[in-house]
Structure 1
Amino acid sequence: MQEERYWLIAYDIRHPRRLARVAKCISSYAWRLQKSIFEAHITADTMAQLEKRLNAIIRDDDTILILPICACDRGKRKICGLAGSSDPMQDSCMML
């Protein structure tokens, strides 16, 4: 069984309809940190499923960045002024 790990997902989507579809898709796997940045705590297999779903939505002029985050580095994070985050593990201050 695979271990869950943290992932940072950011996107730049050109068309508003695709942007909404991408955000909705990612939201089913991750929580929003900013308008176009999410954090997930899922396995690599689950991330591969998410990537497959996203690749079916995006076009050549869109970009999605997916970064794995090790537990050590995630523990060093600081978030400042994150009003309204749905992060279940939200600190009062986080910096990436």
Structure 2
Amino acid sequence: MAESKNFYMICYDIRDPKRWRKAHQLLKGYGETLQYSIFRCRLNQRDREKLRWELEKILDAEDSLLIAGLCERCVERIQACNRPETWTVEQEKFQVF
């Protein structure tokens, strides 16, 4: 059985443009860009820890990182006023064998 996945909102404030680009490229592989330094990712626990570990290698002491887990109820209550398509949630597809 597959691990369950949850939504995470990942925000960062990185002072150096080179480190910012590295973090941005890394996160593009894990989720969707909402704003320049804000991503939405749907991850299982293993992927979340792997991502956190990879980001820690990029970040410096002066940088900030926030990984906020969102429950299903929280995701339903998100209001995206000027871009309502931002938080559309596609249902997971299942394959029947």
| TM-score with structure 1 setting the length | 0.84
| Alignment-mate amino acid for residue 72 of structure 2 | A
Report the alpha carbon displacement of residue 80 of structure 1 after superposing the two structures with TM: 1.9
Amino acid at match of 2:42: H
Q: Which residue of 2 aligns with 1:76?
A: 77
Q: How does 1:57-68 map to 2 (within 5 A)?
A: 57-68=58-69
CA contact (8 A) 1:33 1:82 kept: no
Deviations 1:75-94 (CA, angstroms, capped at 9, x unpaired): 001112239x8x5727xxxx
Which structure would you say has the larger Rg?
2
Q: Check whether the contact 1:6–1:40 (CA below 8 A) recurs between aligned residues.
A: yes
The secondary structure found in structure 1 opposite 2:83 is coil
State percent identity of aligned pairs.
24
The CA RMSD over aligned residues, in Å, is: 1.8
Question: What TM-score do you get using the length of structure 2 for normalisation?
Answer: 0.83
2:43 maps to 1:42: yes
Name stretches of at least 5 consecutive residues in structure 2 with no aligned partner.
90-97
Equivalent position of 1:93 in the other structure: none
Instruction: State the distance in 2 between where 1:81 and 1:67 align.
Output: 22
Give deviations 1:3-48, integer Å, cap 9, x for gaps: 0000000000000000000011111001011111111011011010
Structure 2 Cα separation of the partners of residues 13 and 31 of structure 1: 18
After the TM superposition, which parts of structure 1 deviate over 6 Å for at least 4 consecutive aligned residues? none
Higher helix share: 2
